[in-house]
Amino acid sequence: MMELELTLPVNSSRDHVLGPQKAPITLLEYGDYECPYCRQANLIVGNVVQQLGDKMRFAFRNFPLTQIHPHAQHAAEAAECAGAQNKFWEMHDILYENQQALEDENLLEYAEILELNMSRFQKDFYNHTFAGLIREDFLSGVRSGVNGTPTFYINRMRYNDSWDQETLTRTLIDIINENL
């Protein structure tokens, strides 16, 4: 029953991926911008990415739990709208840093801070251009055994251990060393 493998592999043509394509390890997170644990995880992942540098890739997929987090869906859409203008990660961080302010007007403010093309941003945002992609992210997570947020995968396998910085870093380094 415990299907632990990622059903939709990370693919830089559909996913937001940080780090070199040929990195020996890919860490994928399914997250929700209104989830307090994801906010915590975002800080930890940032540190881990900094520490491991070119040895890893980090990818993020949306898993908004919209019935308990009423702002999560629009926040995810704002990140994708920014992504269409090559500013996904900038928006991603702003959203987590401002988790208590995710009303639509806040999201538009963040787009302005990032100096996005506002007419394009608003068009994409209000037309829900990326809602389908977000649903695809969500369903790929459901089928891969995501049972809450954040859920991590390391090279296609679900990571079930604690995601505190020390444990996560050690696990990644061990896998990198095994693959050498």
Partner 1 sequence: MSSQADQQKQTSNALQPGATAPNFTLRTTPDKSVSLDQFRGNPVILLFYPADFSPVCGDEVSLYNEILPEFQRLNAEVIGISVDGIWCHLAFSKHKNLRFPLLSDFEPKGNVAQQYGVYRKNDGVSERALFLVDKDGVIRYSYVSPIRVNPGADGILKALESLPQSTEQKEDTST
Query: Please, is 49 exposed, middle or buried when counting C-beta atoms within 10 Å of its C-beta (0-12, 13-18, 19+)?
Result: middle
Among 12, 147, 162, 167, binds partner 1 (CB under 8 A): 147
Q: Are 57 and 20 in contact (CB under 8 A)?
A: yes
Q: Which residue, 4 or 43, has its beta carbon nearer to partner 1?
A: 4
Q: Which of residues 55-114 bind partner 1 (CB under 8 A)?
A: 65-68
E strands in 9-163: 16-18, 25-31, 56-62, 151-154, 157-159
Nearest residue (CB) to partner 1, 7 versus 117: 7
Nearer to partner 1, 26 or 62 (CB): 62
**If binding is defined by CB under 8 A, does position 143 make contact with partner 1?**
yes
2 lies in the binding site for partner 1 (CB under 8 A) = yes
- Residues 6 or more apart from 136 whose CB is under 8 A from it? none
Of 12, 47, 160, 162, the one binding partner 1 by CB under 8 A: 160
CB of 68 to partner 1, least distance (A): 5
Stretch that binds partner 1, among 91-99, 121-129, 145-153, 164-172 (CB under 8 A): 145-153
1: contact with partner 1 by CB under 8 A: yes
Q: Is 159 helix (H, G, I), strand (E, B) or coil?
A: strand
DSSP of 61-80, one letter per residue? EE---TTT-TTHHHHHHHHH
145 contributes a contact to partner 1 by CB under 8 A: yes
Quote the distance between the C-alpha of residue 99 and its chain's center. Answer: 15
Tell me if 142 contacts partner 1 by CB under 8 A. Answer: yes
Q: Name the segment binding partner 1 (CB under 8 A); options: 14-22, 52-60, 125-133, 136-144.
A: 136-144
Provide the residue type at 119 as one letter.
S
